[in-house]
Structure 1
Amino acid sequence: MDGMIRADIEKVERSAAVLGTRPIRPRDAATLALLDRKGDEFLVLMGRRHAGHAFMPGKFVFPGGRTDPADSHIPVATALHPKDEAGLTAGLGRTNPARARAIALSAIRETYEEAGLLIGRKGALATSRRDWQGFVEHGVRPSLDALRFVARAITPPNRVRRFDTRFFGAWRSDVAVELPDGGPTNELEELVWLPLAKAREADVPDITRMVLEELERRLADDPLLLPGGSVPFYRSVRNRFVREIL
């Protein structure tokens, strides 16, 4: 583990103050780092959370949120790439393929809700799920093979809110429809495309900065972001926040 990674982990540890006394089971969540390329530079989509939010107010984040298990029933144009599905179902906890599918679909849904970007392919979609009516109206079937599993992080214990978050990467070219006024929830008050280095310098949560650094390293070796790359996993082990590789 290099010095920068170790220092970042220690910073997260210091910020993980004990805010609760009752153990809280982390909830599944997903977030999406949508990437674009301009010449030799990689850009990432970030959004600023409203200052009035109780969780991470005013911070720049990737679109994302909690997973709804019902997302696993949404019809898709393409399934997860087998290598990325294998990464999602491996490691700590029992993540079966249906749960992995729901987690991946929630990243696509949240990107629509918060940023107005529908990732998938043009085609009729039929579902009664209210959260997916934007895809129905615009004729987009979500494409899971566009997603790359790039990181996982579990909030340290004894926090008021805990999430088991899977971070995905995808390309802007995988967006089938881009709504001009953003997403319907308006949870992000400012959406910007930033070079990865500048995104790290923005007011972002510590774990987001760490994932941005991981993305920079991976893209340096794998500029196409191919399936099956190594996935860093951040979690607490015996009261220490550690980085492992899935």
Structure 2
Amino acid sequence: MQPVPHPSTPEIPRDAASVVLLRDTPAGIETLLLRRHAQMANMGGLYVFPGGKLDAADRDGAALLDQPAQTLHEGLGESALDPATAAGLHVAALREALEECGLLLAEPAQAQAPVDAPRARAMLREGQPLAQVLAALQLRLSTRRMCAWSRWITPETPAMATRRFDTRFFVAQAPDGQEAGHDDEETTASVWIAPRTALEQYRDGQIDLAPPQIMGLAHLARHASVRSVMEQARLRRPPTVLPEAFEHEGARVICYPGDPLHSVRDRALPGPTRLYQREQRFFPGDGFESLFA
């Protein structure tokens, strides 16, 4: 295999955050996937976890949170990251969850203020800053209900996007009593779905996914409950995944840490260490079941 040529001046990845929202059902865990609008420049039409880029205001959001910035910085395990940005990534993940699917992970900041997610979302859509929304509703964001899960950095030669991102993925249990729904702007569909079922639908061509979602769903499929996911997240440092691309017989191969071709020898993820790209779809070389081996 030959490495895919890199641009002479690769784009610097933008900081971003995403939250993998989970719930327990009698049949096992489900996660929330949103379909991005087909006209979006990045990953249009794909099913993704709620998330987006870090905004400047997110870095100033430490006062919105239930934990100090230094505590959140330690949870991410990134020595090169400053505490304000670490806190901002938590703000960004929860802000995007509210904007894109209407779920608000928050708690009363004073007395018994109700967590009114529909009203908070409506205020955001009217253009009010998140800090102003939370202050008006007497709420603060609940970072104790989320855990860092993984960090994905877009390859220097992206396969499916026009921009590069450095995305921190968090896991969190969906709040009780709130109803998720897409915004009909950036996202056009939403579904609660078992991780394996989502991958089966991808295999059968019913939905489209990007590699971080494919590998993330395969990881989640190994867990029987939300508690199991959260406990694993708390016990380990979030792995960093910078895929490396190669060409083999005219096809693109995406390799992950631990693959013999990858520059990082230590495995970061369970499952296969490489995916083969056929047009705009990605599959493990040893068959579908190898995602869960």
What is the TM-score normalised by the length of structure 2?
Answer: 0.65
User: Could you tell me whether the CA contact under 8 Å between 1:84 and 1:148 is conserved in 2?
Assistant: no
- Give 1:88's aligned residue: 76
Instruction: Structure 2 unaligned segments of length 5 or more: list them.
Output: 114-126, 203-207, 247-253, 258-266, 270-293
- Give 1:130's aligned residue: 128
Letter of the structure 1 residue corresponding to residue 188 of structure 2: E
- Pair 1:152 & 2:151 matched: yes
- Decide whether aligned partners of structure 1 residues 234 and 36 sit closer, same or farther in structure 2, where only a CA change above 3 A counts: same
- Give 1:172's aligned residue: 174
Q: Which residues of 2 match residues 100-119 of structure 1 at below 5 A?
A: 100-119=86-105
Instruction: Structure 1 unaligned segments of length 5 or more: list them.
Output: 1-9
Moved more, 140-149 or 59-68: 140-149
CA distance in 2, matches of 1:121, 1:198: 32
- Pair 1:38 & 2:36 matched: no
- Pair 1:187 & 2:220 matched: no
- 1:49 pairs with 36, 44, 69, which one? 36
CA distance in 1, matches of 2:144, 2:55: 20
- Give 1:143's aligned residue: 142
Q: Deviations over 1:194-235 (max 9, x none)?
A: 011112234211111101222333667962613523323211
Structure 1 position 64, deviation (Å): 0.3
Letter of the structure 1 residue corresponding to residue 103 of structure 2: L
CA distance in 2, matches of 1:83, 1:241: 33
Q: Deviations over 1:179-204 (max 9, x none)?
A: 67654x73111111001111223421
Larger radius of gyration: 2
- Give 2:240's aligned residue: 233
Letter of the structure 1 residue corresponding to residue 107 of structure 2: R
Q: Which has the higher contact order (CA 8 A, sep 6+)?
A: 1
Q: Deviations over 1:110-143 (max 9, x none)?
A: 1111111111113469xxx934154445443211
User: Could you tell me whether the CA contact under 8 Å between 1:69 and 1:99 is conserved in 2?
Assistant: no
Letter of the structure 2 residue corresponding to residue 228 of structure 1: R
Q: Deviations over 1:66-116 (max 9, x none)?
A: 01242132223511798864241426xx11221111111100001111111
User: Could you tell me whether the CA contact under 8 Å between 1:68 and 1:106 is conserved in 2?
Assistant: yes
Letter of the structure 2 residue corresponding to residue 115 of structure 1: C
Letter of the structure 2 residue corresponding to residue 211 of structure 1: G
Overall identity of the aligned pairs, in %: 29
User: Could you tell me whether the CA contact under 8 Å between 1:42 and 1:195 is conserved in 2?
Assistant: yes
- Give 2:228's aligned residue: 223
- Give 2:84's aligned residue: 98
Q: For the aligned residues, what is the CA RMSD? A: 3.6
Letter of the structure 2 residue corresponding to residue 232 of structure 1: P
What is the TM-score normalised by the length of structure 1?
Answer: 0.76
- 1:210 pairs with 206, 211, 215, which one? 215
SS of the aligned residue for 2:228 comes to coil
- Decide whether aligned partners of structure 1 residues 19 and 65 sit closer, same or farther in structure 2, where only a CA change above 3 A counts: farther
Structure 1 position 146, deviation (Å): 1.2
- 1:242 pairs with 246, 250, 256, which one? 256
- Give 1:61's aligned residue: 48
- Decide whether aligned partners of structure 1 residues 65 and 53 sit closer, same or farther in structure 2, where only a CA change above 3 A counts: same
- Decide whether aligned partners of structure 1 residues 110 and 66 sit closer, same or farther in structure 2, where only a CA change above 3 A counts: same
CA distance in 2, matches of 1:168, 1:19: 29
